[in-house]
Each structure stands twice: as C-alpha cells, then as structure tokens.
Amino acid sequence: MFYFTDNSGVYWIATSGSSKSRNLHRLLGEIRLLELDLGIMLQVVHVPGLVLITQGTDGLSRGVWMTPFHPHLDNSRLTQAIFAPVTFHSSLVRDHCPLFIDSVHSWTYRCWKQPWMASLCFNQTTIWCPPPEVASQLLAFLLNSWVERPHTTGALLFVPRVMEASWRHLSRYVHELNVIYPHTMPLRFPPVLPIPIVLLYIEPHTCSLPTPRRLDPPSRAAPVWHANQAAYMRGLSREFSQE
C-alpha cells in the first residue's frame, strides 16, 4: 500500500520506524500491528505538493470536490509517473552539470535496463538515469566497481527525488552535485510530474598526502609577553621578568 505525502517529516519518521515523540512512536507501533493484521506493507512516498495538486487530493482537503470535468491525471498513470526514470538527453549534462563538464572531458551513457557489467564501467565516467526504486542497487553496484579502479572510474546519476531514504547517505563518496526543478528549469524532455531530480556523482579518486602537521600553529605573541606570563605564574614581579 502506497501512501503519498508532501510532508517530508512524515516520510522520514515512517521510513525509520521510530520517533522521539512518544505519541508518534506509539502511532507507528499501531500502524505496524495493522500491517500484520491486514497482511500488507505500507510504503510512504514523499512527493512535492505540486503532485498532490495535480492528483486532486490537495483540493479535496480544502473542500474542492473532483468532477469528471477536472483535468486530473488517471491514478494509474499518475502512480507510474511518480516512479518513472528521467528521460536522458545530452542537454541534461551540458546545461545542468557545468562543474562536471569542466572536470570530465568524456563520458558514456549507460541504460539501466542493460546488463550491469563492471568491465563496461572501468576507466571511464558513465551516466545513468535509473528509476528511484532501483537507485540504491545501482549505486551499490557502481561503488563496488569503483573500488576496483577508483582512480579512473566515475559515475553520474539523475534520480527523481522519490524514496530518497534508500539511496541518500549510502556512502560518503557519493556527492550530491545539484537538484533540478522541472517546473522552473527548462528540460528537453520534461517529466509528467514536477518531481525534483537529484544529481549524484561518484568522483574518480585523487591521491593526496596527509597533512604533515596536525597540531595548531604556535601563537605569534612577543617574547616579552611570554616572559611576563611565566613570571606571573612563578610569583615574580614584571620588572624582574623584563631584566
């Protein structure tokens, strides 16, 4: 059972299964028991408020009844659009990844439906546009490939910001470069729903030596000041310390 909400707090609490609030934690326990009784699994999905407006639930909550004359999307088509991957075009990289273009001279697009083979990812930077529910598995595969040849292998992913708890903070080597908002940024192939698109980047590793000194540098106070402080600690007069 999918539960769509534009409240990110509800999404993260339901995904983690716990809350510091006693009442919310008790409510989560009751929901888990209902799942066992009904034989279902509740999957909370965070979507932007614009999606709920398009679907019509937002209007219902404000007393606006839906009629056949309202231009709403079919629920099955709407659910399919929420989990749909980003349609790839080279303009995605050229227009929305300027820093990536400056650092990477060549890249190759790989379709997520094709077989995942590490040999096809080695010694190059690959571009991927997976569905949100596949993003975590694809990231795990790319990280396993990256550790084999980290100095020459990289990857860039365009992922709709849905079910982000499954792939966010998966590894500290996965960097979030940018977020594309389809309702404000022009796209060659815009999605059906204005769900933000997150750019995840696995950068080729650059070797660097550790910092030689980990201690703080010494202060640059005058030597007389240090002598006065030492004299004060010993109980001597300042005039004596200056002699």
pLDDT tens over the chain, length 243 residues: 888 787 778 888 887 788 888 888 888 889 889 989 999 988 888 777 666 655 555 544 454 444 454 455 666 777 788 889 999 998 888 888 876 766 677 889 999 999 999 999 999 999 999 999 999 999 999 999 999 999 999 999 999 988 888 888 889 999 988 888 887 888 888 888 888 899 999 999 888 777 766 676 666 667 777 788 888 888 766 554 444
Residues 141, 172: contact at Cβ < 8 Å? Answer: no
Per 3-state DSSP, the chain is made up of helix, strand and coil in percentages (nearest 5) of 40, 15, 45
Name the token pair of 178: 């940018």
Among 19, 53, 81, residue at a domain's last position: 81
Q: pTM (2 decimals)? A: 0.69
**Domain extent at residue 111:** 85-202
| 7 and 54 assigned to the same domain | yes
| 114 and 146 assigned to the same domain | yes
pLDDT of residue 154: 92
pLDDT of residue 55: 56
| 77 and 185 assigned to the same domain | no
Give Cα separations from 17 to 6, 10, 24, 28 (angstroms): 18, 10, 10, 7
| 174 and 155 assigned to the same domain | yes
Among 61, 81, 101, residue at a domain's last position: 81
| 72 and 89 assigned to the same domain | no
